[in-house]
Structure 1
C-alpha cells in the first residue's frame, strides 16, 4: 500500500503478549493448565504440524480443547473467547494482518525457546543462560524485551524472503524460505 506521495501507509500494530517457555513440552503443559482453568479458550496455529501436535498432546491427556488453523479464524467464530496463538509466524506482517482481521486489541502468543523461530536467533544460548540462572521448565518468560527481540528477528527474516513458500511446519518454512 502506497500513498500518493510515495510514503508507505503504515498498518496499525496490534500489541503482542509473548509467553515463552524453555521447551515445547512445557508450553504444551501450560496450554493444558489454561484449558483446565478457563474452558472457553481457542488455540490458533499457523502450521499444520503444530495443530496436530497440540491436538495429539491434548488427546493423550484427555483434554477437550479447540485447536484450529489460522485460516479458520474469523471474528464471528472466535467471538468473546480467549484466543491463544500456539506459535509465532516467521513474518510479522502476516501475523499483524490476521490480528487486525480478528479485531484483536492484543494477541497472546505461546512459544518455546526450542522452536525454529527462536533457534534462528540463538534460542539455545538463551535456554542455557536461563537454566543456569535457575529458571524452571514450567515457568514462562513474559517481558517486552522478548517481544522486541522477536519482532527484530521477524524483520530480519522478512528482508531475506523473495517469494514465500508455504510449509506444514515452522521448521519446513525455514528450510524452504531461507537459504542458510
Structure 2
C-alpha cells in the first residue's frame, strides 16, 4: 500500500544503509570530521574524489591528525576496513555507485558527512536554503540529521542518474557535475 492514513507506518520505510549529517558549510563538515577522528580514531574517512581526499588529508595534517585515516574509494577494500568504521565525507552523485561500493560490506548505518554548499546540493537549490537555515538560527557547526534528509538525497541522486547517459570520471564533485549533467 502506498499510503495508509490511519494504519501503522511501514517499519522499513526509514531504514537506510546511510545516515546523513548535513552541515551548512564545507568548513563545518571538515571540522566535524576532524572532531570525530580525534574522539574516535577507529573511523576511516572515505572520499569519492581525489580533490576531496587531498583537501581532507591536508586538513587532518593541520589538525595534528593521522592523514592515513583519509582514503579514496578506489583504494578501499575489505582488509582496509578491518577494525575500522567507514565514514563518507561526501556523496557520490549517483546512488547506484554508492550501493555498488558497499554491497559486500558488513556495515550498517554508515555515516555520510555532507555540506549544503557542495555542488551536489547546489544542483537542487541549496543556495536558497542556506540563508533561510541561518535565519532560523541554525549554527554553522550544527548538523541536520534525519531519515527524511537521507531520502531526499537518494531521490536527488536518482534524478541525477536519469540525466546521465554515459558517465565521465572526474577529480572533484564540481567537475563531475559539469561533465555529466548537461
Q: State the TM-score, normalizing by the size of structure 2.
A: 0.88
Q: 2: CA distance between counterparts of 1:98 and 1:124?
A: 30
Structure 1 unpaired stretches of 5+: 1-12
Residues 93-123 of structure 1, C-alpha deviations (whole Å, 9 max, x = no match): 0001111132322321000000011001111
Structure 2 unpaired stretches of 5+: 1-14
Residues 24-69 of structure 1, C-alpha deviations (whole Å, 9 max, x = no match): 0000000111011111111010000100010111122222241111
Q: Which residue of 2 aligns with 1:123?
A: 126
Q: 2: CA distance between counterparts of 1:146 and 1:128?
A: 18
Q: Which residue of 2 aligns with 1:158?
A: 161
Which of residues 5, 23, 28 in structure 2 aligns to 1:21? 23
Q: 1: CA distance between counterparts of 2:126 and 2:149?
A: 11
Q: 1: CA distance between counterparts of 2:28 and 2:81?
A: 25
Asked if the contact 1:14–1:107 (Cα under 8 Å) also holds between the matched residues in 2, the reply is no
Q: 2: CA distance between counterparts of 1:132 and 1:14?
A: 30
Moved over 4 A (4+): none
Q: Name the SS of the counterpart of 1:101 in structure 2.
A: coil
Asked if the contact 1:18–1:111 (Cα under 8 Å) also holds between the matched residues in 2, the reply is yes
Q: Which residue of 2 aligns with 1:75?
A: 78
Q: Which residue of 1 aligns with 2:6?
A: none
Q: 1: CA distance between counterparts of 2:64 and 2:80?
A: 24
Taking a change above 3 Å as real, the CA distance of residues 177 and 164 of structure 1, as seen in their structure-2 partners, is same
Asked if the contact 1:14–1:99 (Cα under 8 Å) also holds between the matched residues in 2, the reply is no
Aligned length: 167
Q: Which moved more, 1:39-48 or 1:64-73?
A: 64-73
Q: 1: CA distance between counterparts of 2:32 and 2:169?
A: 28
Report whether the alignment pairs 1:136 with 2:139: yes
Q: 2: CA distance between counterparts of 1:104 and 1:137?
A: 29
CA RMSD, 1 decimal: 1.3
Q: State the TM-score, normalizing by the size of structure 1.
A: 0.89
Q: Which residue of 2 aligns with 1:113?
A: 116
